[in-house]
Homo-oligomer: A and B are copies of this chain.
Amino acid sequence: MNPKVAVIMGSDSDLPIIKETTEVLDQFKIKYQLHVLSAHRTPEKTIAFAKKAYQKGIKVIIAGAGGAAHLPGIIAAFFPLPVIGLPIKSKTLNGLDSLYSIVQMPPGVPVGTVAINGAKNAALLALEILAVSDNKIKEALLSFRKKQQQTVKEKSKKLNRLGAKEYLKTKK
């Protein structure tokens, strides 16, 4: 079966963040495509990808970009299914530029935006979108949430037992 998710980034310097997206997808055993596609440096290839993705069975595209960060918006202009925008923290404006460029799309062409460097949530949002029509993913998400809950509860218990000072020592 072809992958239903594509994960793309504007530059390979975004990969250390994007890797967290792929790790979540791997953990849920979801196949995905992975590309470096620059809206500005490889515009033809980017547009060709965006046009064909839909016919090739891609259902959701996660696009990470920083600075002017046009990639998610340009993909969304050609792809009629959900595009998830992942603003990458930039060197000079802390990712504010990336966030505004991605989230402030004009009426008619939406990009569902997650937090600056919110790479895990980009994957989880993609999974939630697939879960709308896929019960197995839905169940996997529900059990992920339970486990997550458990982890926080255990931390709280440990903190209750040890107090702030001792707890912090165990984390070093």
Binding site for B on A (CB under 8 A): 10-12, 15-16, 18-19, 22-23, 34-43, 45, 47, 59-60, 67-70, 73-74, 76-78, 80-82, 84, 89-97, 99-118, 120-122, 124-125, 128-133, 138, 141-142, 145, 148-149, 152-153, 155-156, 159-160, 163-165, 167-168, 171
Contact present for B80 and A142 (CB under 8 Å): yes
Which residue of B is nearest A90, CB measured? B104
Whole-angstrom distance between the alpha carbons of A40 and B93 in the complex? 25
With A40-B77, A93-B104 in contact, is A132–B15 under 8 Å at CB?
A: no
Complex copy number for this chain: 8
With A35-B160, A93-B96 in contact, is A40–B108 under 8 Å at CB?
A: yes
Give chain B nearest CB distance to A50 CB in angstroms.
9
CB-CB under 8 A from A12, the residues of chain B are 155, 159, 167, 171
Whole-angstrom distance between the alpha carbons of A4 and B39 in the complex? 26
Contact present for A89 and B92 (CB under 8 Å): yes
Contact of A84 among B23, B42, B112, B133 (CB under 8 A): B112
Give chain B nearest CB distance to A106 CB in angstroms.
6
A-B contact pairs, 9 of them (CB 8 A): A10-B106, A36-B152, A39-B74, A41-B152, A45-B153, A60-B132, A70-B70, A99-B99, A107-B121
